[in-house]
Amino acid sequence: MSESNDYLYPQKWLSKASTGDRVAYELRMRIISGLIESGTILSENKLAADFEVSRSPIREALRTLASENIIRLEKMGAVVIGLSEKEIEEIYDVRLLIETFVFERLIKMDTTNLALELSKTLEMMKVAIKYNDADEFSYQDVMFHEAIIRSIGHSYIGMIWNNLKPVMEGLILLSMRMRFIEKYDDFTRIVNNHELYIDAIRAKDRKLMIKSLHDNFDDVQGTVEDLWRSQQMLSKGVESQDD
């Protein structure tokens, strides 16, 4: 794949990814963002030409996206399904279930090292805010929650997270890019929410954990709105290029 400023997914995150994975990450972002609309038929030949790769990695990417239910493989090509608002909310429901389960396990564990790791990650998030770097903030945000989930060493919870992560990552990227443009002041609240996470984990305080979870996940409606606004901006950008 050639380097291009037109890619929505940060290319610096893909240094170790296979060609098929690189195509999948970019197509996923274009579908989640609405740049590729629901009902669009994706042609292997056209995608291979667009990404300047052979058809083999295109097939690999399409199989990956089909397993995530955002496209449907048919004889005439891959049909884009996309994500509805309800499905986005359901994805966050699963995250809430996972993190609620993990927090219950953490109460019985030594959380000293985890709290320290999360504090370091939060500092990186603050640096990203300072330098107006939405992509780096999104990356560190995902790493923050992934550290919590992986800390209990539960293989099946880890498997669910791995399946959820690619789409979740795309949603977070689009949401945070929009917030850096239009809701920059909201990052004070977001940082405070993450500090509450750390305090709850350090203190093993169940009530504080519940509050931190709700403060974070009650923001799902804002995420959906940010995604919608991101779609509108991208659509306008495409229209401008076509004029």
Pairing of the two strands 71-74 and 41-42: unpaired
Asked whether residue 113 falls in the same domain as residue 64, the answer is no
CATH of the domain at 37: 1.10.10.10
Report the pLDDT averaged over residues 65-90. Answer: 92
Question: Which residues, at least 6 apart from 224, have a Cβ–Cβ distance to it below 8 Å?
Answer: 85, 88, 89
Asked whether residue 55 falls in the same domain as residue 70, the answer is yes
Asked whether residue 160 falls in the same domain as residue 227, the answer is yes
Asked if residue 223 is part of any domain, the answer here is yes
Nearest CA among 24, 26, 23, 21 for reference residue 10: 26
Does residue 201 have a pLDDT over 80?
yes
Asked whether residue 137 falls in the same domain as residue 69, the answer is no
Asked whether residue 106 falls in the same domain as residue 71, the answer is no
Asked whether residue 107 falls in the same domain as residue 147, the answer is yes
CA-CA distances (angstroms) from residue 229 to 8, 37, 132, 179? 15, 15, 19, 10
Report, in this order, helix, strand and coil percent for the chain, each rounded to 5: 75, 5, 20
pLDDT value of residue 231: 52
Nearest CA among 142, 149, 222 for reference residue 179: 222
Q: What CA–CA distance (Å, rounded) separates 109 from 90? A: 29
Asked if residue 52 is part of any domain, the answer here is yes
- Asked if residue 88 lies in contact with residue 171, where contact means CB atoms within 8 angstroms, the answer is yes
Nearest CA among 88, 81, 69 for reference residue 222: 88
CATH of the domain at 103: 1.20.120.530
Domain boundary among 18, 49, 78: 78
Does residue 219 have a pLDDT over 60?
yes
Nearest CA among 1, 61, 12, 70 for reference residue 36: 70
Asked if residue 2 is part of any domain, the answer here is no
Report the pLDDT averaged over residues 63-71. Answer: 96
- pTM of the full structure: 0.86
Confidence band of 150 (pLDDT split at 50, 70, 90): very high
Asked if residue 240 is part of any domain, the answer here is no
Asked if residue 239 is part of any domain, the answer here is no
Q: What CA–CA distance (Å, rounded) separates 210 from 203? A: 13
Quickly count: other Cβ atoms within 10 Å of residue 139's Cβ.
22
Domain boundary among 78, 94, 122: 78
Asked whether residue 67 falls in the same domain as residue 123, the answer is no
Asked if residue 37 is part of any domain, the answer here is yes
Asked if residue 242 is part of any domain, the answer here is no
Asked whether residue 39 falls in the same domain as residue 103, the answer is no
Asked whether residue 182 falls in the same domain as residue 156, the answer is yes
Asked if residue 243 is part of any domain, the answer here is no
The backbone torsions φ and ψ at residue 133, rounded to the nearest 5 degrees and listed phi first, read -110, 90
Asked whether residue 111 falls in the same domain as residue 222, the answer is yes
Percent of the chain residues topping a pLDDT of 70: 87
pLDDT value of residue 238: 45
User: What range defines the domain where residue 67 resides?
Assistant: 9-78
Report the pLDDT averaged over residues 121-142. Answer: 97
Question: Which residues, at least 6 apart from 25, have a Cβ–Cβ distance to it below 8 Å?
Answer: 9, 13, 14, 17, 166
Query: Tokens at residue 119, please?
Result: 């504090």
What would the pLDDT profile of 7-19 be if each residue is shown by its tens digit? 999 999 998 899 9
Domain boundary among 61, 78, 95: 78
